[in-house]
Each structure stands twice: as C-alpha cells, then as structure tokens.
Amino acid sequence: MFEKILYPTDFSDVSKKALDYLAQLKDAGTKEIVVLHVIDEKGINAISRYGSGSAQTVIGRIEEEAREEGKKIEKKLGQSGLTVKVRIEVGVPLKEILKVEEEEKVSAIVIGSHGKTNLEEMFLGSVSEKVMRLSKKPVMVIKR
C-alpha cells in the first residue's frame, strides 16, 4: 500500500520536511523511495538565452548540483533502512512526475505543498495541487 513511494523534490525546505514522513512510513511497509528532481526546461531556456554558455552546458552544471543534493537525500533516507533510487530529469515538472509515477509503478506519492517558485504558483496553482489532481495514486502533501 505504501511499498514504493515517489518523492518529487525541488530541494526546497518544505520539500525536505517530507523526509521525516518518508522515514516514518517505513513502519507502514515502505521499502523503496524514488527521489525525483526535475530540472525545469523553462528555466534552462531562460538561462541559456540571457546567460553565457549553451543550454547543454547550463544543464550539465545544474545536473551536477542536483546529483549532489540527491546524494544527500539518498544518504539520509538510506540511514532509515530504505532503498533509494535518485532520478534527475529535464522537462516540465508535472509531466515528468506523472511519467515517472507510471514508469516506476509506485504505490503512493509524497510531495511538499509548495516549491521554490512561489510567486508563479500563487497564480497558477502549485505543482503539488496538479499532481494531486492528476496522479492515479494516493498523494500525501506535506505543508510548511
């Protein structure tokens, strides 16, 4: 029922709050956590347009940073005895989350209520809300 959990994260503070809940769910049968970080392609395009370097170099740098963050989470969850898989994807966050949900055949999703892109989410609704609406599996939303 909670065996394999998808944990989409943008590495924000509220998202990291979810880690304690994930560790707790181990007692309810959770064995594996799929940590998913999506590098928003919209951001990439903006940076490569106005910054220096091609989109590829930008992605490379951001990906490296994401892998570092991912490793920290992997270590923390691993200490609770959970099997952890980290996936870094580039694309539209909502789409990637729903894609990985299918691919990994997860039993539930645990996600922070708001990401780093707070202002945009105030107008368009948070990614978590959309995940909640469109996911086929139970979604647990962790609040600030």
CB of 31 to its own copies, least distance (A): 13
- Rounded to 10°, the helix 55-79/41-50 angle is 140
CB of 85 to its own copies, least distance (A): 21
Note whether 140 and 108 are within 8 A (CB).
yes
- Give the chain's end-to-end CA distance (angstroms, integer): 25
CB of 9 to its own copies, least distance (A): 15
Query: For 1-144, where are the alpha helices, taking DSSP H only?
Result: 13-25, 41-50, 55-79, 93-103, 118-124, 127-134
Could you give the angle at the alpha carbon of 101 between the alpha carbons of 47 and 72, nearest 5°? 60
Closest CB to its own copies among 71 and 133?
133
The residue ranges that bind its own copies (CB under 8 A) are 1-2, 20-21, 24-29, 113, 128-129, 132-133, 135-143
Strand partners, 5: 33, 108
CB of 21 to its own copies, least distance (A): 6
Closest CB to its own copies among 40 and 101?
101
Closest CB to its own copies among 92 and 140?
140
Closest CB to its own copies among 30 and 58?
30
